Amino acid sequence: METENYTCEDTVGPYYAPAFLDDDRQNLTNFYDYLVRPKGDVIIVQGAILDRDGNPVKPVLVEAWQADANGRRRTSATLEDADLDPWFDGYSRHYCDDGTFELTTIMPGAVPPCRESPSARAPYITLNLYMDGTERLATQIFFEGRPENESDPLLLSLPEPLRPRLLARRMPDNSDGVPVYRIDLKLRCADETPFFEDRFG
Amino acid sequence: MENRVLPNFDLQFDEQPDWRRLEVGETDLSAEARVPLRSLRPIPEAARTSFAPSVTRLPGLRAGENDLTRIAPGRPQAEGVKLLVSGSITDENGRPLRGVLLEVWNANKWGRYTHKDDPAVQQLDPNFLGYGRVLTDDDGRYSFATIRPGSYLVRPEIDRWRPSHIHLSVRGGSSRLMTQMYFPNDPLLDIDPGFQLFGAAGARQIGAESVSRTEGIDTDIRFDIVIGGRNPTIFED
Ligand SMILES: [Fe+3]
Instruction: Domain ranges for chain A, please list them.
Output: 18-186
Active-site positions of B read: 113, 152, 162, 165, 167
Query: Residue B217: which of B116, B75, B25, B69 has the closest Cα?
Result: B69
Q: What residues does B175 pair with on adjacent strands?
A: B172
Strand ranges inside chain A, DSSP E: 42-50, 60-66, 91-96, 100-106, 124-130, 137-143, 167-171, 180-182, 185-186, 196-197
Cβ contact (<8 Å) for A199 and B35?
no
* Contact assignment for A76 to B44 by CB distance below 8 Å: no
CA distance A160 to A156: 8
Q: Which CATH superfamily is domain A18-186 in?
A: Aromatic compound dioxygenase (2.60.130.10)
B166 vs B5 pLDDT, higher one: B166
How many beta carbons lie within 10 A of that of residue A40, not counting itself?
18
Give the mean model confidence (pLDDT) for residues B142-153: 96
Q: Which of residues 156-195 of B touch A (CB under 8 A)?
A: 167, 169, 173-174, 176-180, 194
SS3 category, A22? coil
Widest distance between CA atoms in chain B: 63
pLDDT band at B124 (very low <50, low <70, confident <90, very high): very high
Percent residues over pLDDT 70 in chain B: 90
CB contact under 8 A, A52 and B34: yes
Tell me whether residues A138 and B51 touch, CB distance under 8 A: yes
Which residues, given as ranges, of chain A have pLDDT below 70?
1-3, 18-24, 32-34, 200-201
Is A114 within 8 Å of A120 (Cβ atoms)? no
pLDDT given for residue B3 in this prediction? 42
Domains parsed from chain B with CATH numbers = 65-227 (2.60.130.10)
ipTM of this complex prediction, to 2 decimal places: 0.92
Point out the residue among B4, B36, B235 whose CB comes nearest to the CB of A187. Answer: B36
Distance (Å) from the C-alpha of residue B213 to the closest C-alpha of chain A? 27
C-alpha distance from B120 to closest chain A C-alpha (Å): 12
Query: Left (φ > 0), alpha (ψ -120 to 50) or beta: where does A40 sit?
Result: left
In this prediction, residue B11 has a pLDDT band, given cuts at 50, 70 and 90, of low
Going from the C-alpha of B86 to that of each of A30, B90, B105, the distances in angstroms are: 36, 13, 15
**Least confident range of A42-46, B36-40, B95-99, B170-174:** B170-174
pLDDT tens readout for residues B24-55: 877 677 788 999 999 999 999 899 889 988 87
Tell whether A135 is within 8 A of chain B (Cβ): yes
Distance from Cα B117 to the centre of ligand 1, integer Å = 12
